[in-house]
Amino acid sequence: MMIRLGVVVAMSVLLVGPVEGGVKVKVTPSSLRQGDTGVLVVTGVPDARLIEGSVGERPLIFFPYADGYAALIGVDVAAPAGQTRWRVGWVDGTGNPRKAAGTLRIKSRKFPVQKLSLPGNMVDLDRATEQRADREAAQLNMLYGMVSGERLWRGHFTRPVASTGPGEGFGARRIINGKPRSPHSGLDYSAPTGTPVVAANRGRVALIGDFFFGGRTVAVDHGQGLYTLYMHLDRVQVVEGVLVERGETIGTVGSTGRATGPHLHWGAQLRRARVDPAGLLALPVRD
Ligand SMILES: [Zn+2]
- Please give the full DSSP string across 112-130, using - where no structure is assigned: -EEEE---GGGTS--HHHH
Cα 270 versus chain centre, distance: 3
Centre of ligand 1 from the C-alpha of residue 116, in Å: 12
Centre of ligand 1 from the C-alpha of residue 67, in Å: 39
pLDDT of residue 10: 37
Q: What angle do CA 4, 6, 8 make, to 5 degrees?
A: 160
Is residue 185 within 8 A of residue 228, CB to CB? The reply is no
pLDDT of residue 4: 38
pLDDT of residue 217: 98
Centre of ligand 1 from the C-alpha of residue 274, in Å: 13
pLDDT of residue 180: 86
**Residue partners of 169: CB distance under 8 A and separation at least 6:** 112, 114, 184, 186, 187, 188
Centre of ligand 1 from the C-alpha of residue 189, in Å: 8
pLDDT of residue 6: 38
Centre of ligand 1 from the C-alpha of residue 265, in Å: 4
Closest alpha carbon to 269 in 58, 10, 82, 81: 58
Using DSSP's 3-state secondary structure scheme, residue 140 falls into helix
Centre of ligand 1 from the C-alpha of residue 187, in Å: 6
The radius of gyration of the chain from alpha carbons, rounded to an integer in Å, stands at 20
pLDDT of residue 128: 94
Rounded Cα distance between 257 and 217, Å, is 9
Q: What angle do CA 217, 218, 222 make, to 5 degrees?
A: 150
Rounded Cα distance between 62 and 65, Å, is 9
Centre of ligand 1 from the C-alpha of residue 264, in Å: 7
Centre of ligand 1 from the C-alpha of residue 14, in Å: 34
pLDDT of residue 121: 79
Each residue's pLDDT tens digit in the chain (287 positions)? 333 333 343 333 444 444 556 789 999 988 899 999 999 999 998 888 899 999 998 999 999 998 899 999 999 999 999 999 999 999 988 899 999 999 999 999 999 898 888 888 778 889 999 999 999 999 999 999 999 989 999 999 999 998 778 899 999 998 888 888 888 999 999 999 999 999 999 999 999 999 999 999 999 999 999 999 999 999 999 999 999 999 999 999 999 999 989 999 999 999 999 999 999 999 988 88
Using DSSP's 3-state secondary structure scheme, residue 279 falls into helix
Q: How far apart are the first and last CA of the chain?
A: 41
pLDDT of residue 20: 59
Centre of ligand 1 from the C-alpha of residue 76, in Å: 17
Centre of ligand 1 from the C-alpha of residue 215, in Å: 11
Centre of ligand 1 from the C-alpha of residue 184, in Å: 6
Centre of ligand 1 from the C-alpha of residue 96, in Å: 48
* Burial class for 140, CB neighbours closer than 10 Å (0-12, 13-18, 19+): buried
Rounded Cα distance between 125 and 133, Å, is 9
pTM for the model? 0.90
Centre of ligand 1 from the C-alpha of residue 188, in Å: 5
**Strand 63-65 relative to strand 179-180: parallel, antiparallel, unpaired?**
unpaired
Centre of ligand 1 from the C-alpha of residue 192, in Å: 15
pLDDT of residue 49: 86
